[in-house]
Each structure stands twice: as C-alpha cells, then as structure tokens.
Amino acid sequence: MGTRNQPTSVLESGIMKIRTVTTEPFADQKPGTSGLRKKVSVFRQPHYLENFIQALFNALHDLPTLTLVIGGDGRFHNRDAIQVILRMAAANGVGRLIVGRGGLLSTPAASCLIRAHGANGGIILSASHNPGGVNGDFGIKFNVANGGPAPERVTEEIFRQTQTIRQYRIIDSDDIDLSRDGEVRLENTRITVVDPVADYAALMEKLFDFDRLQDLLGGGMFNVCFDAMHAVTGPYATAILERRLGAMPGTVLNYTPLVDFGGGHPDPNLTYASELVEIMAATPAPDFGAASDGDGDRAMILGQRFFVSPSDSIAVMAANAHLVPGYRGGLAGVARSMPTSQALDRVAKRLGIDCYETPTGWKYFGNLLDSGRITLCGEESFGAGSSHLREKDGLWAVLFWLDVIAARRQSVEQIVRAHWRDYGRNFYTRHDYENIDANVAHDIVSELRTKMATLSGKTIGGHQIAKCDDFSYTDPVDGSVTQQQGLRILFRDGSRIVYRLSGTGTEGATLRIYIEQYVADSARHGDDPQTALAGLIAAANHLSGILTRTGRGGPTVIT
C-alpha cells in the first residue's frame, strides 16, 4: 500500500518548493487496454495518483525536451488531478504542457492536439463511458506521439515503475488558472492553456464538406438531435453543429459537462441513452439522432424509429466514403475488432482492399494506421475512426454520417436498408452481463475453454460448428503476438458466437456475448435481430450456463 505522512525533502525554488515525497508501491496500478481505471475513492487515496504519474514520468526520457498534452472529460476529480499533474510535471522538469481550457479535452481532441502540435504524448483523464461523480469512476491513460494509446511495451514499463517506486517529486504552488487561454511558467515548465475545440474543429472542416452540411442543417428542414449526455462532447457539438453549421438552437441536448454527468451513465447505447431513444421513437421525430459518451470517442447513430448497429455503421461509412471529401482518394484498407460483425469485410472485398481483424482495444489499430495499411477502422462498442487521428472519434462519425446523408439525400433508414440489399445483412447482437462476480465470470470462461475442445463438428442452434478457438492476433507490422482475446465458436455458414471478458469496468466483471449470422435474403432483412438470432442466443446461453451461474434473468445491456 501507499504510505501516509511520509517525510519529505524540500528544495527551495524561488517562492515555490520542490518536494521529494517518500512513498511505497500500490499493487493494483497495472494499466488495462484503456489506461488505469478505478473508483474515484481509490484515486483519492494519499499518494495513489502521485505514484502513477511519477511512474509515468520515470518511464519517459529527456523530460526537459518533451511537450505533453493534458486534459480530461470533466468528471469528478478531473480538475484536482490536473493540478497535481501540472505540479509534478514542473517538479520533474517537463519542458512544455498544453492543457485544454478548464481542464477539458475530449479524447479525440487530445489526439488531435498531440498530432497538430508535434507533442511527444498526452495524459488523458477519463474513464470513458463509465459513470462519474464522487462515487463513480476515474481513469488516466497515456497516449504516445502518434496521438494513439500507448502500446503494451510502454504500459508495461509504466507498470514496472509503479512496482518499484519509492518517491515522487511535486512543487508546492497555487493552482494554475485554467479558465483563460494563455501561457504561464511553473519553474522551467511552460504551460499553455488552449481552446479545447479550435484545433479539432479546424480538422473536421478539412475532412467534411461544411458548405454542404450547412445547406443540410441550416434551413430548418432537416432536424438533428445530439445528446452530449452532460459529458465532454457538449462544447464541441454546440460549436460545430449549432454555431458553425447552423443547426437549430437546442439541437445539442445536455450540452454542459457535469462532474457526475447529471447522474446519468454516459454510455451511448439503447439502454443508457434512453432520453434520445424516446425522442427518436416519437412521431414526429428528428431526422437524425446521435449520442456520444463521457470522453467523446464513441457515438450511437439513430434514424427516425431506426437504430444503426455500430457494426453496420462502420460498414456503411466504408461503402460511402467516396462521397466524403477527406476520403475521396479511396481507402487504403479497413480494420475491425474481432467481435465486430463481418459486415465490414464484405465491403472491403467489394472494394478490393484488405480488412484486418484485431483484438479489442484502439491501440491495435495504431500500427495499421501509421503504416498506411488502413484508412477506416471501427469497433462494435460504438467506436469508429480513421487516419485523421489515432483514437476513435464520436463527433467525427456523426459528421461523416451527416455528410453522406447530405450527398445521398436519403434518410438514415433508407441508406442502411439499401446497404443490406446490396451486401446482405449480418444480423448481430451483443449481450452484456455487467458487474457479475469476477470469480464466477472467470470460471465460466475457463469451463467454456475446456468445453470447446469437444464441440467441433457438432450442431447447435441449427448451425454446424466448423471450429472453436481463443482468438490470437499477430501484428502484421511489428510481428507482436496477442493471445487469448476471446473465445470463438465458428459455424460452417459463417455465423459466430464469441465470449469475451471486458477490461473497462471497475467493479466485478463484465462478460460480453456476441452473436452473428449472415442473411442474404432481403425478405428477412426487416426482422428484429433478437428474433432472427434467437436460436444462436439460446445456444450461447446454454453453452455458457450464464443465466444459471449468475442468477440473472438476462443481460444488463443488449445492443
């Protein structure tokens, strides 16, 4: 455990004091796929935040030459943590810090700033789509110079440093005023406070036809409802959709970032974005609906009484990319996470480009993007992105969809149904069992792994099993191998059942079950996915015994 009331050594520096504080390691500071996520109460323990930040600095080199971007999603503890990080960065001699005004930066905007300013990396304070508030979650992740999440070799070194740390350095000083743009110095560290929206908005204007979008949104004939869920995307969506593109005032709901997200769960899905879902299900309804998550890197897309699954969304975007100015030159390739449906693969085959299948986690797209192998990528967890950044990007996905709508002059539903007619439909669903006992979850997965060795050739849910495996990925760029990324049951007709433990929660465990079946017959494309997949859903539940083992009546969230 970290220690309390440890002795410190003090170095006078003008009117400020650089303190070297004695500490001890915490055992639980291993970053996951999206950094270090814990309850706020864990981060507020004496020395906990400081230990992790010092370990991060210890893992870096030539600190006086570095420029780092810092910001977060505005959740509880965001502002206090940033002030600690600024004082520690100065005490450790970091050359320059670029900070979002008010301590705010969406995750895609942080990636944008890193790339636009040639920074060496960035510290992003967010727990993404997890709940906020004093009893909620908090998180920190480090992004590297390409703007993307740190690869495993970096996070492993940070973790190694957390396990050997014995002291950290911090300056005693007043808080830095982050409410105004400008520059100050803290010791030899230059701190620049910037508009969190400006660089990001400028990049969006280069990618999309803003004149065409202004014609679509500015006349009051096409109505948009964007739910920012009291999270960080509010200022971005208001600045771009309402002020720049002329959408009606009130287009952006819940636009003020709040430390507890207004008591809501900032996860843009059919369960947690219920206010938007109700609006889009009404008669009449806006023409287009979208919601983004806590840190702005995810988006749910809705039409009038029509839900677009994230897997379909990235496939539709790829098929229509030639209509969007920033992508008219063609796509080098595409990529999806393994649990994401194979709808994108069908588009790639038609276009004659490669489609890569990676583990879940945006960092796995980084090498593919940096090497120029792909242009678009996406995950079934409402994340999509492209070569413009090295993070998934919610508002970018919204603007992409709107630009396609403006070009095609069709509704969301018309565009998706036309896509299904052309490519066939990959019926797809994800069942999340959240906050279940971690031991039970691991037992289910372990027993499934053993059982799968006997399943090949058998028929379940009316489908014959071709093979079963535990997904392994070999990076085509650097040859690194990532194993045990999800248990897959693959059927001869291309259908799939996938089981995977999620690493983004802070309580218990989340077990996700993904189920997919391709249907070419357009007469069946209007079926509800839960009905179309009923046989495979029942088989997936039976094989895992999840309802019996968890005592649940069904999943927490269905998408």
Does a structural domain hold residue 392? yes
Q: Which range, of 7-21, 384-398, 470-484, averages the lowest pLDDT? A: 7-21
Q: Which pLDDT score is estimated for 329? A: 94
**In terms of Cα–Cα distance, which of 257, 247, 317 is closest to 286?**
247
Average pLDDT rounded to a whole number, residues 335-352 = 97
Distance CA 415, CA 404 (A): 9
Exposure string (b/e) for 193-214, b if CB count within 10 Å is 16 or more?
A: bbebbbbbbebbeebbbbebbe
Does one domain contain both 215 and 350? yes
The mean predicted confidence, pLDDT, of the chain is 93
Distance CA 328, CA 351 (A): 13
CATH code, domain with 536: 3.30.310.50
Round to the nearest angstrom and report the end-to-end CA distance of the chain: 39
Q: Which of 158, 178, 194 is the last residue of a domain?
A: 194
CATH code, domain with 38: 3.40.120.10
Distance CA 438, CA 40 (A): 20
Does one domain contain both 153 and 221? no
Does one domain contain both 401 and 449? no
Percentage of the chain modeled with pLDDT above 70:
96
Distance CA 427, CA 309 (A): 10
Does one domain contain both 430 and 539? yes
**In terms of Cα–Cα distance, which of 353, 5, 215, 415 is closest to 345?**
353
Strand order in the sheet with 16-22: 8-13, 16-22, 167-172
Does one domain contain both 157 and 249? no
Longest Cα–Cα distance of the chain, Å, equals 77
Q: Which of 391, 423, 455 is the last residue of a domain?
A: 423
Q: Quick check: 5 pLDDT over 50?
A: no
Size (the chain), residues:
559
Q: Which pLDDT score is estimated for 237? A: 98
Active-site positions? Answer: 128
Collapse the DSSP code of 238 into the 3-class scheme (helix H, G, I; strand E, B; otherwise coil) and give the result.
Answer: helix
Does a structural domain hold residue 182? yes
Write the pLDDT tens digit of every residue in 182-208: 999 999 999 999 999 999 999 999 999
Write the pLDDT tens digit of every residue in 281-297: 999 999 999 999 999 99
Does one domain contain both 435 and 356? no
378 or 504, greater pLDDT:
378
Does one domain contain both 419 and 429? no
Does one domain contain both 353 and 385? yes
Q: Can you list the positions of beta strands (E) in 243-318?
A: 252-253, 288-292, 299-303, 306-308
Q: Which of 159, 174, 194 is the last residue of a domain?
A: 194
Q: Quick check: 124 pLDDT over 60?
A: yes
Does one domain contain both 143 and 272? no
Percentage of the chain modeled with pLDDT above 90:
83
Q: Quick check: 3 pLDDT over 70?
A: no
Average pLDDT rounded to a whole number, residues 49-73 = 97
Domain count, the chain: 3
pTM of the model: 0.92
Domain span at residue 133 reads 8-194
Helix residue spans in 169-242 (DSSP H) = 198-207, 210-218, 233-237
Q: Which pLDDT score is estimated for 4? A: 40
Does a structural domain hold residue 3? no
Exposure string (b/e) for 443-480, b if CB count within 10 Å is 16 or more?
A: ebbeebeeebeeeeeeebbebebeebeebebebeeeee
Q: Quick check: 35 pLDDT over 60?
A: yes
Q: Which pLDDT score is estimated for 504? A: 54
Does one domain contain both 355 and 490? no
